[in-house]
Amino acid sequence: MDNDYIAFQGSLQQLLEKVESGEMVPKLQASHAPPCKFWTAFMVVNGIRHMAPVIHGPTGCTYGVANAYKLTSCEYRGVPLEPTACTALDESNVVYGGEGKLVEAIKEVEDRYQPELIAVLSCCCSGIIGDDVETIARDAEKSVNARVIAIRSEGFGGDFRSGFEDAFRAVMDLMEPPRQTRENTINILGARVGPTYTEWLEDLDEIKRLVSAIGVEINAVLCGGCTLDEIRRAREVKLNASWCYDWGQKLGDLMQERFGIPYSRTGQPYGLRATEEWLMGVAEPLGLEKPARELLGKETDQVRAELESLRRNLGGKTAIIEVAEFPGPIRALSLARMAEEFGAKPVVVNIHPYTIKERMPSIKFLIESGQNPEVVLTKGLFSLGTFRSSRRTELEIRQLVTGYDNAIFLGTPMRQPGIPQVNLTTRTGFPQYGFPGIRNIARLVESAVAHAARPRSKLFRQVLYGG
């Protein structure tokens, strides 16, 4: 294979070693950068019902998160359109401080909306001038009925991952000492705003269905539509599990360390083996192995045809899985494992060294669990242009697939690689977890193979990538 366009080719383990040694520098160019710490902290608290955020900063940051997150998640969480309050800092506040404005904003939010929880988030402006949002939140809580928490979330104060983790730490402070231990009850960890592009309600529904079928109750999905009462009771459960090991891992480890609650360390339930592992990871600590195995046997019998279809259509192929807006890095690795389960050789394309650094515990967990697919990084990954619209990366993907026999592409429908293409972002394909996921993915793979010869639109490619 002509590999002038390849920056790295090897196993996931080898890429991890290069990142750890500094040989692959985990710097992320601006065009591929994830949201800042402020945005990701907001994503977590936005998943709490009857919560009113107070953003201590100028109106621009408030408009951004309200437009991106609030307007898309209220229906999912079963509540009417919710406010996003702001202290609207201006030039005089930057000079003289804005702490007085923040106190007034908290009281006004209480008077107008009567929320159960008020979450104060600092952004770059208030962080630069050093306003003490934590002390103000503690003092203000004495004069309002709502609980008040503060998260130092100024964008320069950390990376996108620290926003999630600091917000989850603040949520942990709301958890009260348990009055009882509720048998066969768990929390699902690591959810954020709800149905974002990488986090779908339908996948969470399948997780809920599986655990309910073996007699397990979910106390809360933290923080994907949970209430303040559910957060308060979060320490009463017997076990924590996650919808995605990567996002649940930090909160699971923190709750195990601080509160002694065990955490089920399992990956995403893509395919049959991973689904079995996920469910048994919940059932075994709770002593529910028998009903879990009975359920798995029954559900497996019902998807025999789909399992055979996946083996027939993936067996002997090379599954090219590109990391883009979808699938993200952890889903891509989960898809790689699923493809290998059904007889394909997985090749994961463009999992950025920055991703390896920021998700180091999760990547190591996946490798220790036996997941070590081939990884290819193209040079276009390190140039300007988003994952989706980079003409250079599009050309590199098209060249890459020619080097593999009998290849099939799993990833964004924006690509036109010239091989059978499984469109895993089609809305009718949900969910992708568990047994409905097996049915849906089998259908999508079957369709990709059957219709591989259908031409793609040249105009569509030109619109995306230029002439």
Strands (E), 133-216: 147-151, 185-189
With a CB cutoff of 8 Å and minimum separation 6, the contacts of 265 are: 245, 249, 252, 281, 365
Tokens describing residue 378? 């193209």
Domain boundaries, the chain: 6-31+305-465, 37-158, 185-302
Query: Can you give the pLDDT of all 467 residues of the chain as single tens digits?
Result: 467 999 999 999 999 999 999 998 877 766 667 788 998 899 889 888 889 999 998 888 877 777 766 665 555 555 556 678 889 888 887 877 788 899 999 999 999 999 999 999 999 888 888 889 999 999 999 999 999 999 999 988 888 888 989 999 999 999 999 999 999 999 999 887 654 545 667 888 899 999 999 999 999 999 888 999 999 999 999 999 998 888 888 899 999 999 999 999 998 999 999 999 999 999 999 999 999 999 999 999 999 999 999 999 999 999 999 998 778 899 999 999 999 999 999 999 999 998 899 889 899 999 998 999 999 999 988 887 666 667 888 899 999 999 998 999 998 888 889 999 998 875 555 789 999 999 999 999 999 999 988 888 888 888 888 87
C-alpha span between 395 and 381 (Å, rounded): 12
Question: For the segment 137-189, what is each residue's pLDDT rounded down to a tens digit?
Answer: 999 999 999 999 999 999 888 888 889 899 999 999 999 999 999 999 999 99
Judge if pTM exceeds 0.85.
yes
Q: Measured between alpha carbons, how far is residue 290 from residues 127, 217, 280, 287, 338 in Å?
A: 53, 17, 10, 8, 25
Domains 6-31+305-465 and 185-302 share a fold: yes
Contact 222, 231 (CB under 8 A): yes
Pair type for strands 185-189 and 239-242: parallel
379: amino acid identity, one letter = K
Which neighbouring-strand residues pair with 242? 189
Tokens describing residue 301? 């019998």
C-alpha span between 383 and 16 (Å, rounded): 21
H/E stretch holding 9: strand 6-11
DSSP state of 78: T
Question: How far does Cα 65 stand from its chain's mean position?
Answer: 17
Which of 438, 451, 410, 413 lies closest to 311 in space, CA to CA?
Answer: 438
Q: What are phi and psi of 430, to 5 degrees?
A: -80, 155
C-alpha span between 166 and 150 (Å, rounded): 10
Q: At the top level of CATH, which class does the domain 6-31+305-465 belong to?
A: alpha beta
Q: Does domain 185-302 have CATH number 3.40.50.1980?
A: yes
28: amino acid identity, one letter = L
Q: Measured between alpha carbons, how far is residue 77 from residues 30, 52, 109, 118, 428 in Å?
A: 32, 14, 20, 17, 21
Angle between helices 289-302 and 304-314 (to 10 degrees): 70
Q: Does domain 37-158 have CATH number 3.40.50.1980?
A: yes
Strands (E), 134-209: 147-151, 185-189
C-alpha span between 71 and 417 (Å, rounded): 35
